[in-house]
Structure 1
Amino acid sequence: MSEVLFYHMTQTRLEQTLPGLLERSLERGWRVVVQTTSNERRDALDAHLWTYRDESFLPHAAQGGSDAPDQQPIWITCEDDNPNGAHVRFLVDGAVHDDLASYTRAIYMFDGHDEQAVQGARARWKAEKEAGHDITYWQQDDEGRWQKKA
């Protein structure tokens, strides 16, 4: 079974949080898929990862682009695909993937100020627990640091 983490963002937004988590994933030698829910959001995240910080570079490509996905350590998609052979899957903006067993780790990231996102995360928690995955829940404290809650 996979390790499934739920990241409850209360102090920062996805655009502030995701790049650092992707950097840490690459430092560990992991290939990553980031799944979102729309082409527009996929393209916005793709653009953001090129510009989020001047001194940093996250090698990536997005579905619909001209780059070969199997050459990219980070693949951004709004589909269930995994063309870069990723072992880690980030699910953002309410994205779901029904078969996480092939991944070492899956991370659901959700906005704690969006009640629909919170309810969706609760439903996914229940589904992933029933699927037998090892689940942990992390929430930001008042300073934006991650605290393990469950």
Structure 2
Amino acid sequence: MGAAFFYHLTRQPLDVTLRSLLEKSLQQGWRVAVRGRTDDMLERLDAQLWLGPSGDEFLPHGRSGGPHDTDQPILLTTAEAAVNQPDCLVSVEGAAVSAPEVAALSRVMILFDGHDSAAVQTAREQWKSLTDAGAEAKYWSEESGRWEMKAQSGGRDGA
């Protein structure tokens, strides 16, 4: 059974944090689905994953709707079901995540912009919805300059 990790972005932009988390996920041997709400966001993230900060740091990935979606180690999608059989789901833009997904996957990561009050409110609602449904959740903050776990919910069994 997995857990939902909430990442409250206040120092690093989404694309920098996402790249770091995706690199770590690939090192774990995980396949990843990045779920967004809009094609515009996924297009921007796609470009960042192709080039990286120095312009030559490609991370293997694809946009959903291509002929090789099932083979992608990282699949960018707006769909609820990722066809690349991910071990890990990353939610951006407040994309929906369900408690059964948290339970079925090794990890769910919910990244939200701490400078956007609507994004913070959406993350709070997701936390409540997931934890009320028995999912384990952990809240991570970078406020101090490094990532620190600030809160944890043990899920339905209290673990």
Check whether TM > 0.5: yes
TM-score by length of 2: 0.87
Structure 2's unaligned 5+ residue stretches are: 152-159
Counterpart amino acid of 1:43? Answer: E
Runs of 4+, deviation exceeding 2 Å: 53-57
Kept in 2, the 8 Å contact 1:7–1:137? The answer is: yes
Give the CA deviation at 1:141: 2.6
Q: Which amino acid aligns with 1:86?
A: P
Structure 1 residue 104 displacement after superposition? 1.6
CA displacement at 1:67 relative to structure 2: 4.2
AA aligned to 1:119 is Q
What is the CA–CA distance in structure 2 between the aligned matches of 1:120 and 1:61, rounded to whole Å? 27
How far, CA to CA, are the matches of 2:70 and 2:144 in structure 1?
A: 39
Tell me how far 1:32 sits from its aligned partner: 0.2
| Identity in percent | 39
Rounded Cα–Cα distance in structure 1 between residues aligned with 2:83 and 2:69: 6
The one-letter code matched in structure 2 to 1:109 is: L
| Matched residue, 1:17 | 17
- Superposition RMSD on alpha carbons, in Å? 1.3
TM-score in terms of structure 1 length: 0.92
Deviation at residue 92 of structure 1 after TM alignment: 0.5
Whole-Å separation in 2 of the counterparts to 1:86 and 1:74: 8
CA contact 1:138–1:149 (8 Å) conserved in 2 = yes
1:55 deviates by 4.7
Whole-angstrom distance in 1 between the partners of 2:7 and 2:63: 23
1:95 corresponds in structure 2 to: 95
User: 2: distance between equivalents of 1:67 and 1:104?
Assistant: 26
Larger CA deviation: 22-31 vs 98-107: 98-107
- Distance in 2 (alpha carbons) for counterparts of 1:131 and 1:39: 29
Letter in 2 for 1:22: L
Q: 2:75 — aligned with what?
A: 75
Q: Give 1:60's aligned residue.
A: 61
Report whether the alignment pairs 1:121 with 2:123: yes
User: Alpha carbons of 1:61 and 1:67: their partners in 2 closer, same or farther (altered >3 Å)?
Assistant: farther
Cα separation, 1, equivalents of 2:67 and 2:115: 35
Give the match for residue 33 of structure 1. Answer: 33
Please state whether the residue corresponding to 1:82 is helix, strand or coil: coil
